[in-house]
Structure 1
Amino acid sequence: MSTTETRRLVAQLWNYCDVLRDDGVSTIDYVEQLTYLLFLKMAHERASRRFNADDSLASVAARWQALVDAEAAKLEELYRRTLEDLGRAPGTLGIIFRKAQNRIQDPAKLKRLIVDLIDKENWSSQGADVKGDAYEELLAKGAEDVKTGAGQYFTPRALISAMVDCIQPGPNDTIADPACGTGGFLLAAHEYIVERYGSLLTPEQRDRLNSGAISGTELVDGTARLAAMNMLVHGIGKPNGASLIDVRDGLAEAPARHYSVVLANPPFGKKSSITVIGENGRADREAISYTRNDFWTTTTNKQINFVQHIASMLAIPGRAAVVLPDNVLFEGGAGETVRDRLLKQFDVHTMLRLPTGIFYAGGVKANVLFFDKKEARPGRPWTETLWVYDFRIGQHFTLKQNPLRREHLDDFVKCYRPGEPRSTRVETERFRPFSYDELIARDKVNLDISWLKDPALEDADSLLPPEVIAQEIVEDLEAALSEFAAIAEALQQSRSKTSGS
């Protein structure tokens, strides 16, 4: 991997963003336009190779050449028609260009982006690592654009890496993310398998790994296109093949297939524009209706529904690692029901309590829950011991000055002991076991467990810098406001139902 080459590519493409921002093109819009144009350029390169040219991409490749040759005055109209035409195509091509629109209204600037910046690079000659890392860095920069809210679709890569290291996906696994965002979990799982098994992979396993063993679902068109492109530049899937990203509401229906590994960071937020009818027969009604008889209980809380959905997605045997906000751990009603069922029917064995300051969505207090699905054993709960690692207390991160890095999670992964029997785990100051009986006896099966005290609160000499304290206060207030908003929404829904009955 050439770090220097990656940085050069990113710098070259990113410098132009400042020019376009004056025309009202947001950071994420710029990344989206780059996605369209890079796809066309790479298709042109593949179709124009001296050896092993991909003739199936010839028609797409011709569109790139037409854009390069067009006069600036006619370029905007030609580009708009190109996006519309390709948006009607099937497979990966249609996913990337679905509902695509031109956001660069100045023909001269669009011409410069196409001819001077993108056409002069040969992306196909770059290794998958170089162009993949460059695209990932562009996505990370897009996530920093707080005005667009793009950060909610981007999970910190250091956290993803640690989760994948613990789950240890293999070449025979089927891997899914039901809310895949820009595809970070899917790429990390693919990279883990390729790096760990390498030459041991059979041709069949390699083909399967790149054409269906790894897949994702994403509701938002713009984010799905970024995920699809992210997969392609990392060498996963084919430009003219079936899409590995399914664009739809992941919660809308019961899973059509089951997966041995699920990795996910479902979208935060209480509101969900759906009607859910669970096995209890009750319905929480909103604008869009669907029935999920495979759900244990009824709620419009998206995260709790995603827990139920992931539980339903898992094959036997299957394993999952899911990022969940604190409210899923302590909320009563449906939350209590789901936690109770999960502890009984699944082996909920590990939880990582995350610090604030690592997500682009401010004020988020979250955790990673690891659980396995196994053959039913009537009369006995599957969860015997939940090991909790508290990485929240005493940890202080920010997105820019002190971002989370993979080495910060080394101790957790060491305590997790990937691939080893959980009987070999050792209790530490941050890592403690809790028996099933202890968990089920807690009020409302509350899994929001903490035992450490922040040393900064105990020792006046170790007080944090004022800016860190101020940021933590802001994040706590944002989290509290989010929870109050959820309560207010639930009360409003309850009042509406009462009035309508």
Structure 2
Amino acid sequence: MNVSPVIKNIRNVMRQDKGVNGDAQRLEQMGWMLFLKISDAKDEASEDMDETGDFVSPIPEKFQWRNWAANDKGITGDELIHFIDRELFPGLRELTVANDKRTGLVRDVFRGNNNYMKNGHLFRQVVNEMNKIDFHAAKDRQVFGQVYESILRELQSAGSSGEFYTPRAITEFLTEMVNPRPGEKVLDPACGTGGFLTAAIEHIRKSSADNLKQREMLQNSVCGMELKPLPHLLAVTNLILHDIELPDISYEDALLRNKSVTDKDRAEVILANPPFGGNVDEETADTFPLSFRTRESADLFLVMMVNYLKPGGRAAIVLPDGSLTGNGVKARVREMLLRHCDLHTIVRLPNSVFRPYATVAANLLFFERKSSPAREPDEFSTKAIWFYEHSLPEGMKYYSKTKPIRLSEFDGEREWWNHRTESEKAWKVSIEAIIVRACENAAPHFQKETELKKQARNIKTKITRQKADLKKLDKKKDAVKIKRGQADVDKLEKQLQETETKARAEKKTGDRIYYAAFDLDFKNPNSNRANEEVADINDLLEALGQSFKESSEILQQIKDTIKDCGEL
């Protein structure tokens, strides 16, 4: 049957209900109702196949779709709203889970979502429209799966909910390039509506025989996490529509899991578009190592995803430009990434790919974990990075809701992927050479810092001895000695303060030079659109190091001059 008119009718009915306010609430309302109907169809199929009679639905009989919704002339009006608000939702939210994952999934869905409809007669109309779709029929289910994808696309214009949807072309391209294979665990720790997971499912199905073994394998190897209730509900429904009997999508904050990751949790493949531009709470940030603590969600997700990758595991993720550059924690996160992983490819996207939700420029990062989680690698895993600039189609100024990015636009990247050469769109950066040069330029400053710290320790020792000697003197008999000795202590303490300040300055200078090597915001040097001269990064680092050295010398001269003036 043609499912589109049914969805259109459901929308029109919901718009008449005063309780449903906006697209996001309409999608949530439609989402949990579809979840119940699809789950009931799955349960009936399981009951038909169960020869032992042992199958028990996780949804209590009273709340199963067939028992309150399937009859078009069933309860309606206030009676229906009372049943939904006072019985169905409380009953499903308080299900006893024990060790039953299916029951836990149902409970999580209803704990996180709500019934917004207030008019029971309109509610009955929506139910009756949904009853026109036969989820037992494979053809109806397949057609609805396609319609469901269009429903998810609407999230792009559903206010802040747009963050949960990644354009289909992006999910398919990343999945194709990272190439998840049968039996590999695929993880999306910020799965939104499940776009990457369904892309992985479809990709694996194309590469292997469709049989019971494959279905069981997919059931046990595709998993996700999602913090917010609406996308969690939509993702669960999405995977059920892709014949995943029990979607392994946990309703939780993935970032809070970072400290407790074990080998069993790690995955061979990570596909993700983590939230960026948002701030996490302090409690969440504090679960990360001190050197990586930040409120920026994208940076924390990057740290966590490296942690979740098995050695040899592959990742393809979306990150904003802001994650490729910046100092402090951002630079340390990138250093960690390049040390533990081979970041072999970055595809630079136009800044309108996620319109209208966001206009920030984004990048597609492809990397493979080389290190073992048990030890810190001595060398950097990334030696060189290939960049590819994905341009807008000719004649197009920007992407939009009506003109989104299309999969065919990645044909250039596909052709180039296994036969890489530099071109107007592609260029290669030797990260290894940049890091070596940065280390060489920073080394004198770190060496000077070490020397100054040693001097500071010696001064502290002198101060301790001086103070100990002063304590032995008699305050009355040795007043002059005490005064002279205290003056010496004061002088040493001032000297200590100056030495420690110099040491910190040297470290700061060394850090600036060193961490500049991990700025990955490389512009295309081959583009005809940019005629300005692009300086060699090694020359820039050398010049930067020389500049810091000269600045330090000038600063020292000024301090010496001030000191001399003071003594005069």
Contact 1:181 1:227 in 2 (8 A): yes
Amino acid at match of 1:446: D
Contact 2:371 2:377 in 1 (8 A): no
1:298 partnered with 2:293: yes
Q: In 1, Cα distance between the equivalents of 2:242 and 2:42? A: 15
Aligned with 1:41 (options 27, 37, 42): 37
Offset from partner CA, 1:186-238 (integer Å, 9 cap, x none):
11011100012235x7x44430212x211101111221111111111111133
Contact 1:43 1:61 in 2 (8 A): no
The residue that corresponds to 1:253 in the other structure is: 257
- How far does residue 274 in structure 1 lie from its aligned partner after superposition? 2.5
- How far does residue 86 in structure 1 lie from its aligned partner after superposition? 1.6
Amino acid at match of 1:415: W
Q: In 1, Cα distance between the equivalents of 2:61 and 2:172? A: 35
- How far does residue 137 in structure 1 lie from its aligned partner after superposition? 1.5
Amino acid at match of 2:77: A
The residue that corresponds to 1:206 in the other structure is: 215
- How far does residue 309 in structure 1 lie from its aligned partner after superposition? 0.4
Q: In 2, Cα distance between the equivalents of 1:186 and 1:299? A: 28
The residue that corresponds to 2:111 in the other structure is: 98
The residue that corresponds to 2:94 in the other structure is: 88
Matches within 5 A, 1:10-21: 10-21=4-15
Q: In 1, Cα distance between the equivalents of 2:12 and 2:526? A: 45
- How far does residue 378 in structure 1 lie from its aligned partner after superposition? 5.0
The residue that corresponds to 1:433 in the other structure is: 428
Q: In 1, Cα distance between the equivalents of 2:402 and 2:237? A: 30
Q: In 2, Cα distance between the equivalents of 1:337 and 1:228? A: 35
Task: Report the RMSD for the aligned CA atoms in angstroms.
Answer: 2.6
The residue that corresponds to 2:469 in the other structure is: none
Distance 1:46 1:391, change over 3 A: closer
The residue matched to 2:268 in structure 1 has which SS?
Answer: strand
Distance 1:375 1:111, change over 3 A: same
Q: In 2, Cα distance between the equivalents of 1:325 and 1:399? A: 18
- How far does residue 60 in structure 1 lie from its aligned partner after superposition? 4.6
- How far does residue 355 in structure 1 lie from its aligned partner after superposition? 0.9
Amino acid at match of 2:181: G
Aligned with 1:222 (options 211, 224, 230): 230
Q: In 1, Cα distance between the equivalents of 2:60 and 2:278? A: 45
Contact 2:424 2:526 in 1 (8 A): no
Distance 1:74 1:19, change over 3 A: same
Aligned with 2:147 (options 134, 137, 141): 134
Q: In 2, Cα distance between the equivalents of 1:457 and 1:368? A: 22
Contact 1:185 1:264 in 2 (8 A): yes
- How far does residue 343 in structure 1 lie from its aligned partner after superposition? 1.4
The runs of 5 or more residues in structure 1 that have no matched partner are 276-287, 418-423, 459-501
Contact 2:340 2:377 in 1 (8 A): no
Q: In 1, Cα distance between the equivalents of 2:37 and 2:339? A: 52
Q: In 2, Cα distance between the equivalents of 1:367 and 1:35? A: 31
The residue that corresponds to 1:386 in the other structure is: 385
- How far does residue 409 in structure 1 lie from its aligned partner after superposition? 1.1
Distance 1:416 1:61, change over 3 A: farther
**Rg larger in structure:** 2
The residue that corresponds to 1:169 in the other structure is: 180
Matches within 5 A, 1:290-439: 290-293=286-289, 297-359=292-354, 360-375=356-371, 379-392=378-391, 396-417=397-418, 424-439=419-434
Q: In 2, Cα distance between the equivalents of 1:401 and 1:93? A: 35
Distance 1:272 1:46, change over 3 A: closer
Q: In 2, Cα distance between the equivalents of 1:26 and 1:60? A: 32
Offset from partner CA, 1:62-111 (integer Å, 9 cap, x none):
53222442132301111122122122333221232223321111111101
Amino acid at match of 2:56: S
The residue that corresponds to 1:232 in the other structure is: 240
Amino acid at match of 2:89: L
Contact 2:186 2:221 in 1 (8 A): yes
Contact 1:317 1:372 in 2 (8 A): yes
Offset from partner CA, 1:328-374 (integer Å, 9 cap, x none):
11111111111122212211100010112221422211101111012
- How far does residue 408 in structure 1 lie from its aligned partner after superposition? 0.7
Offset from partner CA, 1:245-303 (integer Å, 9 cap, x none):
1111111132241111111111121421124xxxxxxxxxxxx574234x752222111
Aligned with 1:52 (options 46, 49, 62): 49
The residue matched to 2:360 in structure 1 has which SS?
Answer: coil
The residue matched to 1:198 in structure 2 has which SS?
Answer: coil
The residue that corresponds to 1:113 in the other structure is: 126
- How far does residue 433 in structure 1 lie from its aligned partner after superposition? 1.1
Distance 1:331 1:10, change over 3 A: farther
Distance 1:296 1:196, change over 3 A: farther
Matches within 5 A, 1:173-188: 173-188=184-199
The residue matched to 1:331 in structure 2 has which SS?
Answer: coil
- Matched-pair identity in %: 27
Q: How many residues align?
A: 423
Q: In 1, Cα distance between the equivalents of 2:528 and 2:49? A: 62
Distance 1:378 1:304, change over 3 A: closer
Contact 2:424 2:528 in 1 (8 A): no
Offset from partner CA, 1:392-426 (integer Å, 9 cap, x none):
47774322342111001111122223xxxxxx422
Superposed structure 1 runs of 4+ greater than 6 Å apart: 453-458
Distance 1:430 1:290, change over 3 A: same
Q: In 1, Cα distance between the equivalents of 2:310 and 2:407? A: 29
The residue that corresponds to 2:75 in the other structure is: 70
Aligned with 1:150 (options 140, 143, 161): 161
Q: In 2, Cα distance between the equivalents of 1:399 and 1:340? A: 35
1:448 partnered with 2:442: no
Q: In 2, Cα distance between the equivalents of 1:378 and 1:112? A: 62
- How far does residue 439 in structure 1 lie from its aligned partner after superposition? 4.6
Higher relative contact order (CA 8 A, sep 6+): 1
- How far does residue 452 in structure 1 lie from its aligned partner after superposition? 5.7
The residue matched to 2:112 in structure 1 has which SS?
Answer: coil
Q: In 2, Cα distance between the equivalents of 1:196 and 1:61? A: 42
The residue matched to 1:398 in structure 2 has which SS?
Answer: coil
Q: TM-score, normalised by structure 1?
A: 0.78
Offset from partner CA, 1:23-58 (integer Å, 9 cap, x none):
343222222222222222234434556943795237
Q: More deviation in 49-58 or 308-317?
A: 49-58
